[in-house]
Amino acid sequence: MHTDPVVPVLLSISLVLLAAKAGAFLAHKFKQPAVLGELLAGVIVGNVALSGFHGLEFLKHDHMLEIFSGLGVIILLFEVGLESEFNEMMSVGAKSLIVAIVGVVVPFICGYYVSGLVVPEISEMSKIFMGAILTATSVGITARVFQDLNFLNASESKIVLGAAVIDDILGLIILAVVSSMATMGNVEISSIMTVSFKAIGFVIVSVVAGMFLAKKTVPLLAPINLPGMILTIGLVVCFIGSYLANQFGLATIVGAFCMGLVLEDVHFKKFATDRTLEEYIHPISIFLVPIFFVVTGMHVDLSVFADLHIVLASVAISVVAILGKLICAWTFPSKEKVNRAIIGFGMVPRGEVGLIFASVGKSIGVVSDSLYAITVIVVILTTLCPPPILAYLIKKNK
- Single out the residue of 237, 225, 360 nearest to residue 245, CA to CA: 237
Domains of the chain, CATH where assigned = 65-397 (1.20.1530.20)
Q: How confident is the model at residue 147, as a pLDDT?
A: 83
Residue 167: pLDDT band (50, 70, 90) is confident
Q: Which residues contact 265 (CB under 8 A, 6 or more apart)?
A: 276, 277, 278
Q: How confident is the model at residue 323, as a pLDDT?
A: 93
Judge whether residue 2 has pLDDT over 60.
no
Q: How confident is the model at residue 121, as a pLDDT?
A: 84
pLDDT digits (tens, 9 = 90+) for 355-374: 777 777 777 788 887 888 88
Ordered alpha helix ranges (H), 218-273: 229-247, 252-262
Give this prediction's pTM.
0.77
User: Is-contact 304 91, C-beta < 8 A?
Assistant: no
Judge whether residue 271 has pLDDT over 90.
no
Judge whether residue 168 has pLDDT over 80.
no
SS3 readout for 334-352: CCCCCCHHHHHHHCCCCHH
pLDDT digits (tens, 9 = 90+) for 325-347: 999 889 888 777 888 999 999 99
Beta strand residue intervals within 28-123, DSSP E:
none
Average pLDDT, the chain: 84
Q: How confident is the model at residue 398, as a pLDDT?
A: 66
In percent, how much of the chain has pLDDT > 70? 94
d(CA 286, CA 42): 17
Residue type, 91: S
Q: How confident is the model at residue 186, as a pLDDT?
A: 61
pLDDT digits (tens, 9 = 90+) for 181-224: 776 666 567 766 777 777 778 888 888 888 888 888 888 888 88
Q: How confident is the model at residue 13, as a pLDDT?
A: 94
Judge whether residue 235 has pLDDT over 70.
yes
Q: How confident is the model at residue 102, as a pLDDT?
A: 92
Region 28-41: mean pLDDT is: 83
- Single out the residue of 262, 251, 277 nearest to residue 353, CA to CA: 251
